[in-house]
């Protein structure tokens, strides 16, 4: 479950990289636009309310003063004349609410509220209150206890539109136009006020008319136009930013997913698109294969030709591969010399045939050069019983491609083209490699590594002349582990240098112990890895390790593999000379197994030449040509004052042949297999072999 969650998190991160998010930008834009529009509407509404309130305040002040004058009139008829002179509709009621005088229709509604303001000129600092009543015919201005008044926006807009329409239909000024200002009253909004006539015990209700003038409308239109322009600018800026952001994001995504060498898709694009394909609807019903194709010797190709030719070759390879895959398959340049594919297949045979054709199609992209490719494939077969829309949710494209690369890497020792499929064997090998790496230091400290000795005999006298120290691993957990199962791992992770120290120290200790017992010891050769020769003080390290146990230097022979001679030649020669100065013999192991160089024999001051076991195996070993090669190699060694050792000898005929040629020593199953130290000690005591008595030790 933990691994599945990790894959899901990784997949989500990749999808975030690969996706654009215009919906979020549009959502933010809509919020900003709505917020700006609301602020603009609130501003316009506040201005309209302010205008209405200002006009209403003026009207209320007039009727308030008129009511005060009426209240102070002793003659009631003169008071009525005063009210009539205002040209306003009004209603006078007694203390019981009975109408005692009126002018115009009574259009008061039941909706009422207090209105506050300073109306008394003689006492302008005093805040007075009056009652407002909504007009039942045009209920646009609405009294409210908390906010004094409210405006019915739709009704106000309707009155405004009608007023503008009337103004447009006539060229004559409105009846209420002021000749000095030539301003037009577009409409009048009625609202009733109720004021006490305190001295007379009456209430006077006035029908106040709140007017909207052309200058007000002009200001509102100007304000609205300014707000519209502002909103338009905001919209344009936001849209421009969205477009620019989308373009920049597209450029970044293209750059992120582009291989800088070929200008093609890169590995990140492959991983993101691969995740989408492998986890999409219906993916569980399909067979997929992650494939890695590696250009064998790409660096060597660039050295022999040029870097530009190398890049051109890669471009040609990518072009051919891209043309050979389907629309729902993937291809990218994944690393310097590799290409990643994600293919659909029907069955394994069909996939093998297709990979072979792909490799064949790109082998000759350079007319003057045949290119070899190593291919690895990791299969992801369909899930049985999957429905039409089922997903392959546990798929991980990165793991699949890494497994394909591991399969391709297993062909590293192969010169020509080839391919292989990843299977459980690779998983077991990787687990074993990880296990060995984890426990190697503990095994060394616990001395789980055991030194075995394989004797070397003189084929003419059957006398013991030397031995080779070989390592075995006796693990408490894994039992007896053969060298080929751990030595390559040590060479790969660098632990082989620790093993070299371990072997030299143990051989020196054994030699000293046997000498102290009075045994007649012979030189024992110990392999030293080529990785050690990068150390300038290697000769001194070996000298000090041997001296620590008091073993004579002439009883320790340092054995180098032939491949080590192709590293730093100058450093190698210097180290060999210092070893010889300290009294150690130096031998070349596996001569003839690889690319033997006569220059190595010419330049290196070696003491012993070991002929590779390959000379003495198979039918070729007994041919005339094979015998000539062995014979001449022994003659060459003798001419250079070098002793010779033939290893891997198993037949008496070979022993007789080598004895006739003057080979100094033979190491092989004819005389003895590698054996534990105690068994080898018995050989030291005997000192001779009858030949053909292959030891039972393993």
Contact 405, 292 (CB under 8 A): yes
Tell me: pLDDT of 123 over 70.
no
Residue 45 lies in a domain: yes
| Residue 180: predicted pLDDT | 45
Is residue 432 predicted with pLDDT exceeding 80?
yes
* pLDDT for 200: 79
Burial of 245 (0-12, 13-18, 19+ CB in 10 A): middle
The predicted-structure confidence for 363-373, as pLDDT tens digits, reads as follows 988 877 789 99
> What is the predicted pLDDT for the residue at 34?
80
The pLDDT assigned to 146 comes to 61
- pLDDT for 549-596, tens place per residue? 999 999 999 998 766 655 667 888 888 999 999 999 999 886 765 545
Q: Which of 139-143, 405-409, 438-442, 486-490 has the lowest mean pLDDT?
A: 139-143
Residues 62 and 191 in one domain: yes
* Judgement on whether residues 398 and 443 belong to the same structural domain of the protein: no
pLDDT attached to residue 125: 55
Helix or strand or coil: residue 81? helix
Instruction: Single out the residue in 225, 251, 282 at which a domain terminates.
Output: 225
Determine, yes or no, domain membership for 20.
Answer: no
The domain in which residue 175 lies consists of 28-225
**Does 315 map to a domain?**
yes
For the chain, the domain total comes to 3
- CATH code of the domain containing 576: 3.20.20.450
Question: How confident is the model over 482-502, as a mean pLDDT?
Answer: 91
Q: Residue 490: CB partners within 8 Å, gap ≥ 6?
A: 436, 440, 496, 498, 499
pLDDT for 190 beyond 60: yes
412 shares its domain with 306: yes
**Domain match, 674 and 550 both:** yes
Based on the fold, state whether residues 308 and 441 are members of the same structural domain.
Answer: no
Same domain membership, residue 463 and residue 336: no
What 397-401 contacts at long range (C-beta under 8 Å, 24+ apart), as own/partner pairs, is 397/270, 397/271, 397/274, 397/275, 397/278, 397/290, 397/342, 398/10, 398/271, 399/7, 400/274, 400/278, 400/288, 400/290, 401/270, 401/271, 401/274, 401/290, 401/292, 401/334, 401/340
Q: Is residue 352 in a domain?
A: yes
List phi, psi (to 5°) of 217. -65, -40
- Tell whether 22 is covered by a domain: no
Q: In CATH, what number is assigned to the domain containing residue 324?
A: 3.30.70.270
For residue 17, pLDDT over 60 is answered with: no
- Write the pLDDT tens digit of every residue in 648-682: 898 898 899 899 999 999 999 999 999 999 999 99
Q: Residue 116: its pLDDT value, please?
A: 66
Q: Does position 282 have pLDDT exceeding 80, yes or no?
A: yes
Q: Of 59 and 672, which is predicted with more confidence?
A: 672
User: Listing from the earlier edge strand, what are the strands of the sheet with 373-380?
Assistant: 330-335, 338-344, 288-295, 373-380, 418-421
- pLDDT single digits (tens) 74-96: 888 888 888 888 888 999 998 88
Same domain for 466 and 411: no
Q: What would the pLDDT profile of 573-586 be if each residue is shown by its tens digit? A: 888 999 999 999 99
pLDDT band at 9 (very low <50, low <70, confident <90, very high): low
Among 176-190, 231-245, 299-313, 336-350, name the most confident range: 336-350
**Which residue's entry shows tokens 């394994």?**
348
In a shared domain, residues 365 and 487: no
Task: Decide if pLDDT at 480 tops 80.
Answer: yes
In a shared domain, residues 74 and 187: yes
Same domain for 204 and 127? yes
Domain final residue pick, 401, 422, 443:
422
Same domain, residue pair 214 and 314: no
385 in the same domain as 316: yes
Query: Would residue 694 count as lying in a domain?
Result: no
Inside any domain, residue 3: no
pLDDT of 183 reads 56
Of 379, 403, 422, the one marking the end of a domain is 422
């Amino acid at each position: 479950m933990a691994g599945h969650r990790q894959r899901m998190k990784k997949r989500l991160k990749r999808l975030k990289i690969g996706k654009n998010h215009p919906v979020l930008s549009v959502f933010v834009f809509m919020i900003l636009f709505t917020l700006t529009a609301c602020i603009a509407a609130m501003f316009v509404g506040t201005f309209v309310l302010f205008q209405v309130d200002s006009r209403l305040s003026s009207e209320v002040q007039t009727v308030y003063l008129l009511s005060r004058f009426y209240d102070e009139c002793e003659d009631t008829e003169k008071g009525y004349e005063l009210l009539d002179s205002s040209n306003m509709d009004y209603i006078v009621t007694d203390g019981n609410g009975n109408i005692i005088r009126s002018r115009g229709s009574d259009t008061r509604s039941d909706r009422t509220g207090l209105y506050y303001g300073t109306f008394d000129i003689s006492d302008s600092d005093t805040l007075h209150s009056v009652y407002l009543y909504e007009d039942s015919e045009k209920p646009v201005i609405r009294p409210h206890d908390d906010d004094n008044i409210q405006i019915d926006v739709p009704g106000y807009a309707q009155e405004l539109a009608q007023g503008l329409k009337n103004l447009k239909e006539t060229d004559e000024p409105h009846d209420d136009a002021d000749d000095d200002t030539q301003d037009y009253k577009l409409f009048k909004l009625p609202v009733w006020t109720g004021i006490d006539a305190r001295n007379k015990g009456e209430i006077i209700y006035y029908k106040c008319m709140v007017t909207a003038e052309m200058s007000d409308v002009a200001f509102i239109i100007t304000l609205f136009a300014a707000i519209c322009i502002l909103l338009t600018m905001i919209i344009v800026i936001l849209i421009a930013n969205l477009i620019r952001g989308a373009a920049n994001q597209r450029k970044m995504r293209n750059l992120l997913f582009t291989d800088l060498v070929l200008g093609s898709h890169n590995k990140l694009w492959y991983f993101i698109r691969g995740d989408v394909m492998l986890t999409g609807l219906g993916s569980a019903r399909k067979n997929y294969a992650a494939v890695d194709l590696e250009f064998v010797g790409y660096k060597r190709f660039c050295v022999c030709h040029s870097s530009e030719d190398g890049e051109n070759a890669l471009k040609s390879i990518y072009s051919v591969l891209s043309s050979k895959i389907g629309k729902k398959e993937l291809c990218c340049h994944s690393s310097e010399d590799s290409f990643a594919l994600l293919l659909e297949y029907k069955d394994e045979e069909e996939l093998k045939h297709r990979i072979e054709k792909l490799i064949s199609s790109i082998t000759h992209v350079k007319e003057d050069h045949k290119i070899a490719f190593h291919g690895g494939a990791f299969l992801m077969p369909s899930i049985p019983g999957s429905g039409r829309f089922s997903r392959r949710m546990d798929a991980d494209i990165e793991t699949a491609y890494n497994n394909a690369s591991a399969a391709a890497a297993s062909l590293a020792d192969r010169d020509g083209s080839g391919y292989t499929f990843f299977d459980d064997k690779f998983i077991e090998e990787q687990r074993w490699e990880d296990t060995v790496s984890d426990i190697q230091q503990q095994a060394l400290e616990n001395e789980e590594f055991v030194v075995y000795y394989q004797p070397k005999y003189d084929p003419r006298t059957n006398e013991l002349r030397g031995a080779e120290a070989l390592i075995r691993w006796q693990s408490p957990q894994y039992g007896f582990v053969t060298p080929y199962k751990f030595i390559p791992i040590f060479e790969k992770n660098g632990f082989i240098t620790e093993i070299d120290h371990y072997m030299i120290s143990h051989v020196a200790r054994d030699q000293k112990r046997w000498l102290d017992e009075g045994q007649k010891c012979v030189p024992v050769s110990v392999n030293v890895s080529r990785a050690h020769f990068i150390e300038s003080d290697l000769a001194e390290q070996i000298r000090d390790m041997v001296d620590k146990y008091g073993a004579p230097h002439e009883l320790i022979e340092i054995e180098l593999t032939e491949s080590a001679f192709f590293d730093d030649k100058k450093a190698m020669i210097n180290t060999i000379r210092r070893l010889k100065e300290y009294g150690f013999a130096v031998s070349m192991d596996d001569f003839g197994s690889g690319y033997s160089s006569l220059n190595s024999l010419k330049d290196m001051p070696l003491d012993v030449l070991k002929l590779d076991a390959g000379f003495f195996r198979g039918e070729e070993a007994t041919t005339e040509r094979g015998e000539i090669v062995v014979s001449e190699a022994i003659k060459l060694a003798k001419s250079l004052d070098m002793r010779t050792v033939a290893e891997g000898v198993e037949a008496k005929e070979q022993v007789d042949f080598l004895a006739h040629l003057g080979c100094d020593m033979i190491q092989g199953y004819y005389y003895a297999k590698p054996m534990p130290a105690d068994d080898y000690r018995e050989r030291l005591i005997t000192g001779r072999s009858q030949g053909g008595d292959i030891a039972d030790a393993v």
